[in-house]
Amino acid sequence: MIRFLLLLCIAMNLGSVAAQTYPSKPIRLIVGYGAGGVADITARLVAQKLSESLGQPVIVDNKPSAGGIMAGELVANADPDGYTLLHLHSGNAISAALYRKLPFDVKKDFDPIVNMGEFDAVVLVDKSSSVKTITDFLIKARANPDKTNIGTVSIGSTQHMSATLFKSSTGVDTPVVPYKTTPALFAALKAKDIDAAFEMVSPSMSLIRGGELRAIAVLSGKRFAGLPDVPTMIESGVKDFDVKAWNGMAAPAKTPKAIIDKLNKEVNAVLALPDVQKRFQELGLDPLGGTPAELRTKLFSEIDKWAILISKMNVERQ
């Protein structure tokens, strides 16, 4: 017993020393999506501010793959020293519910740091499309299911699963086509390779405001303040449809608590900066912050929620 307590004290002291000298070299923030999407935009904004406050570069490293699996595996297998971090997001919760086997355990292999924000998604069509409402799209999809499709970013993302939920809720049988990046998705929409796109508000806003794309519905249960004239899915007749995404930050499991606490404090401070809050709001994000425990609770509850939805939608687990 005495030996155990001694080892525990030594471990705590080492963690404290590590936090005092941390960071002493650049930090990598691994993002499971490509450049140009909401994950990349928010990660780079926070990383830039963290670089300034920590005195070391925080480098965003994009590792796009289905469900963010590649990024998760890299961080799960990294040294738990605070120098390799994961951009944790709602897609990770979906992957935990969707995939029968992952190369890591989302619940056990990461130490949550902080929830950075929540954000809305929209259904988009090209400016030249005859589709003006969700009802218009459903009429078109039911009349020509083989000639009507929906585009999203990668399989297992919040956008992809939202489109699958939409199909299940409305009974339409249109294909859902995944693209690797948001710019590729928008290019497909403009080229009329897809009829509608499910994507986050933040990377879409400039194209919506510029008149290049038209938003026809918001996915969450209430209207987005930045697009007050765009109805929700529920208002558009899709019963009980309410999806809102989130993103945060995590470290490999067993990272010293002192380092987790330091990063939590620093990210919360970044999220409280007026220019960061203004930029988040412009992008359609609600800056959150909070404790590591709050993010862990959020992650676990989201895994449970999507597991129920996937079962209800009869989605085949991967």
The answer to whether residue 18 is domain-embedded is no
Residue from 240, 247, 155 nearest 198 by CA: 155
Query: Which CATH number is 174's domain given?
Result: 3.40.190.10
**pLDDT at residue number 284:** 78
**pLDDT at residue number 5:** 55
The answer to whether residue 154 is domain-embedded is yes
The answer to whether residue 294 is domain-embedded is yes
The verdict on whether omega for the bond into residue 26 sits within 30 degrees of 0, i.e. cis, is no
- Mean pLDDT of successive 10-residue stretches along the chain, which has 318 residues: 58 61 97 87 95 98 90 97 96 91 96 94 96 97 93 89 92 93 95 96 91 97 91 96 93 98 98 93 86 97 91 78
Terminal Cα-to-Cα distance of the chain (whole angstroms):
46
**pLDDT at residue number 258:** 97
**pLDDT at residue number 298:** 95
- 109 and 132 co-located in one domain: no
- 110 and 250 co-located in one domain: yes
Residue 61, domain extent: 26-118+245-312
Q: How far apart are CA 302 and CA 318, in angstroms?
A: 18
Q: How many domains does the chain have?
A: 2
- 100 and 35 co-located in one domain: yes
The answer to whether residue 207 is domain-embedded is yes
- 249 and 300 co-located in one domain: yes
- pTM for the whole thing? 0.81
Residue from 8, 6, 49 nearest 29 by CA: 49
The enclosing H or E element of 96 equals: helix 90-98
- 130 and 205 co-located in one domain: yes
The answer to whether residue 14 is domain-embedded is no
The answer to whether residue 317 is domain-embedded is no
How many residues make up the chain in this entry? 318
- 73 and 101 co-located in one domain: yes
Q: What one-character DSSP code corresponds to residue 89?
A: B
Residue with tokens 């590792």: 63
**pLDDT at residue number 314:** 79
Query: Which CATH number is 273's domain given?
Result: 3.40.190.150
Residue from 3, 2, 60 nearest 32 by CA: 60
Q: How far apart are CA 252 and CA 78, in angstroms?
A: 7
CA angle 109, 21, 49 (to 5 degrees): 75
- 211 and 126 co-located in one domain: yes
Q: How far is CA 256 from CA 30, 253, 297, 306, in A?
A: 19, 9, 20, 30
- 33 and 112 co-located in one domain: yes
